[in-house]
Structure 1
């Protein structure tokens, strides 16, 4: 065992969450004020005065409102001047990354008290915009750079066909992975519903959750007027819900500082370690859609921290923007279909404050460990199955100092197969690699989109027009996957490739 001094041992000491349900739109709090409330709650939770001593501040990127240098504005509100003050890029993995990096800074002796915080007021902001109500918030910083999202990195044809948003890209992984596992679409859909129902059940008991309805699997997967199909096979209750007003804060301190501040020992949670890796930003530049090599590498690395088995985790939070993500993750972890995948409730039911959900999951995990759980896994993801970060936390102090090198990109890259050449011109026969069908708000089919492989094994995107009922029916057959099916490729009058079964 390597000797660790108390001022180099990072511990999570306080967590705070806040949900804003204003009676009047203009009473809704903006993200800066939501973060202040969460930070105050985190300090109160710690049981010691820590906010004034923050020397490291990380703010999760928010999309509901735009500020100029929010890290400086929040520091001023707190009356602090942290050595490290960072407002990061878009990414659902970022809260876990920031907690991990804060722990590493403490281990290096560069910090004693770190805060990680984030907030979204998308619910209020969207309602105000629709009602044309001006909010009494800090003026929207139009001069601040617009955050880059996953859609910024996609090919023009993906944008044209509408498969450049999370809700229309993740279905490609859903269909391809289910076929790879030998499931019929019906079986895969049933697994998604049962898994999502478990998230809903946890949210129903979480006082911080936005939606506390314990939906059944059938309620989640069955399309209705209130649960419309968005992109096959995902209904509204199978995707993240960003229309929330929520904030969170996590305080990480050195063991020495925590004790000096009077934080009770039973409030402290240790940070064991973690791992990170990424996929190519453009999903059309990946080798396949049946799994994520980056996800696999990250999860295998954190399993190694607990003896090599996913069953060694007493509690887990598997990122839940769309069902395919935790379905892939639980298989890599070696866990069964009956897995309890969450401690917080998931992005559909707990709520999805965009990039900040995993900070709320961390808060829930801390409470779980304080209540007696020994070891927890927090697995986060950002982009389009793009950025992956996992963190292991424990009631017990780890035997070794937290590692400074956590990138497992080399392992992910070694597993990657040849990437097919992407083309925009093709003819002849095309084989389905994956697909989705995009729906309008009224429940009508807009069109289908198929990722095809040509006779030369090149990759292309092809449209299935809304009036091609036969091909669409084949794609959405619940008893037989269309992955691997062959069809004819042609070029439409607008220059877009189209695919037709037969």
Structure 2
């Protein structure tokens, strides 16, 4: 039995986890997100072995995009027969499940509630198939008058939108090329690391009964373009990006240690949140100082390492957010872990599936199960936006010896490390040095155009296009044995007023 001097009614503990994966044979029979949420929460309660939902005081529902409801959190609470004082439906963000679990734990530690649920669900597979097939779904009527949440383009500069670098699939490659160049890798070496990493995620997903895709892939199968595995934005193929076309729901049930014991929850079911941290970048990625590291990510991961004697190797299990390879590649280096690390207990957003903002709910479920089976310490690291919002949370099989810290922002530390940010310009001439780049592809593998982020001769930042017919510059960008980052070429202005760059 854990030994702690803290009052047991102020020690938060995860007691139940639940998941559901829906693969309907008939599209019209597919479950809507609210039904998936309800079932996941019920399964989490069943997993705890106790009847706790009658005392639900805190309910957080992760933002979902496959269907639109009016006040989905209130609708879910009604379905559960609950009336929680804290009832919240949050904004878009892949880190949000970890943040909500952390905040729920802090609520319990403050004595504001004794039972909390964090849950999320998507039914994008069914919704997409129904739309394509013209099938009317017998779901709660779509709330057309509810405003869609702001994403991507809403926060980016007009030139980024014009050149197509305002979506995750086209922005993350800018980090991919900048980080690998900073680490001294050739593009070939960087791609090999990504392939090996993603192959590990695929292996874990193949062993997870709740994964959407249960197939192992070799590194070469992941990184080699084929008609089925097309290039989307250099260097990412389809098998290197998140797969949101899934139907799944997940839930995490927390209570106090006192209530867990009073409800006779077995000790071997208990997993304790012992601390974490959060920080973020500006949403407009063009006002960041550079793209070879993330100061908020570094600050968050260093803070969670401080909870385990400053050593990332102390974690028995980790989940590094995996929308695109650059994120876990950056994170594992900050944690001081080698390329052979197992970065997931879940399977990753490509292979397990990416129910948009709620993947990390499933990761938390998988982590709880993993720690119940073996090990003592687990790290959940989630991020959202374009390497924008970061949250880390440490889970332990042992009860904490200290009260859960309430102020867990490390924003000041992140901001302290920020260097001077170059001014962004849309007019420039002369020479331009490549800060980062990507090449955007059409559906059948043809180049649409390239995009380079440049530093001008006056050290301003600009975005420039490489037309599909500029084969010499594209060849320079796509050289597998020498990164174009740092190379200098000519900036010219095209007839439509957009800057273009030509390799020198």
TM-score of the superposition, structure 1-length normalised?
A: 0.99
Shift of 1:2: 8.2
Q: Distance in 2 between matches of 1:122 and 1:485?
A: 42
- For the pair 1:348 / 2:350, whether they are aligned, the reply is yes
CA shift digits 1:263-309 (9 cap, x unpaired): 11111101110000001111000000000000000000000000001
Partner in structure 1 of residue 381 of structure 2: 379
Q: Distance in 1 between matches of 2:375 and 2:128?
A: 39
Partner in structure 1 of residue 500 of structure 2: 498
Match for residue 391 of structure 2 among 384, 389, 392: 389
Q: Distance in 2 between matches of 1:73 and 1:377?
A: 32
Aligned-partner SS, 1:201: helix
Match for residue 428 of structure 2 among 413, 426, 447: 426
Partner in structure 1 of residue 150 of structure 2: 148
Partner in structure 1 of residue 38 of structure 2: 36
Q: Distance in 1 between matches of 2:348 and 2:439?
A: 24
Shift of 1:396: 0.4
Contact 1:17/1:247 (8 A) holds in 2: yes
Deviates more, 1:404-413 or 1:488-497: 488-497
Partner in structure 1 of residue 245 of structure 2: 243
Q: Distance in 2 between matches of 1:399 and 1:197?
A: 38
The 5-angstrom pairing of residues 21-420 of structure 1 reads 21-420=23-422
Shift of 1:150: 3.1
Q: Distance in 2 between matches of 1:150 and 1:386?
A: 11
Q: Distance in 1 between matches of 2:157 and 2:78?
A: 41
Shift of 1:310: 0.4
Shift of 1:399: 1.1
Shift of 1:459: 0.2
Q: Distance in 1 between matches of 2:478 and 2:115?
A: 53
Consecutive unaligned residues in structure 1, runs of 5 or more: none
Consecutive unaligned residues in structure 2, runs of 5 or more: none
Contact 1:2/1:401 (8 A) holds in 2: no
TM-score of the superposition, structure 2-length normalised?
A: 0.99
Q: Distance in 2 between matches of 1:367 and 1:223?
A: 35
Contact 2:21/2:249 (8 A) holds in 1: yes
Partner in structure 1 of residue 471 of structure 2: 469
Shift of 1:143: 1.0
Shift of 1:262: 2.3
Shift of 1:373: 1.3
Shift of 1:348: 0.3
Aligned-partner SS, 1:410: helix
Q: Distance in 2 between matches of 1:3 and 1:259?
A: 16
Shift of 1:130: 1.1
Q: Which runs of 4+ in 1 moved over 2 A?
A: none
Q: Distance in 1 between matches of 2:29 and 2:150?
A: 30
Aligned-partner SS, 2:173: helix
CA shift digits 1:354-392 (9 cap, x unpaired): 000001000000001101211000000000000000000
Contact 1:427/1:488 (8 A) holds in 2: yes
Shift of 1:3: 3.5
Q: Distance in 2 between matches of 1:262 and 1:39?
A: 19
CA shift digits 1:373-431 (9 cap, x unpaired): 11000000000000000000000011101100100000000111000000000111111
Q: Distance in 1 between matches of 2:331 and 2:78?
A: 40
Shift of 1:151: 2.8
Aligned-partner SS, 2:84: coil
Contact 1:119/1:248 (8 A) holds in 2: yes
